[in-house]
A = this chain, B = another copy of it.
């Protein structure tokens, strides 16, 4: 079977916004994202869960698919951190502390490469490459498993434009944000290339499931 490139659990507002325009150390998403992401935190299989409990309904199927058969992740630099341009501070090792939730090699897309480093069982590599080349590197590192495209929104749009995405799960929140970085004006934009199932969840989220035609 092919190694798929999969977007998993990417969460946006009802008006298509995935991130605000003013990311900072204090605000990784550029807005107060807690309501929008509450659906994942409520599930039993949420990777960062530390206490028992959590729902095992529909949303939990999406939470627990996050890492299934994933061998590497590709992310944009703005998912990795809030600095822009040349690295002023190599001390920055991402938002996730000593135990990042990836547990695979992670390829960070950047025009400013820096040395790889390892935290627990996640190794971060920095690649100055076009999407096709970055995907080749990630596929090799994934050793036959699929590659997750972790975002942010600019990175997902680049890979969609290059027609490299095989499946995509987008969780649409009932929240309206108004302004910010948009994944789409409407999911219908992707129907020419993708099958789409739209699945409402009892949590209030609406799961959008895309796969290549």
Name A residues whose Cβ lies closer than 8 Å to a Cβ of B: 1, 44, 52, 55-58, 61-62, 64-65, 68, 167, 195, 197, 199, 201-202, 207, 209, 211
Contact = CB atoms under 8 A, between A and B. Distances in A.
Contacts of A1: 52
12 contacts: A1-B52, A44-B211, A56-B211, A57-B195, A57-B209, A57-B211, A58-B199, A65-B65, A68-B68, A197-B201, A197-B202, A199-B199
A68 B58 contact: no
A167 to B, nearest CB: 5
A201 B201 CA distance: 11
A167 B64 CA distance: 14
A135 to B, nearest CB: 19
A61 B65 contact: yes
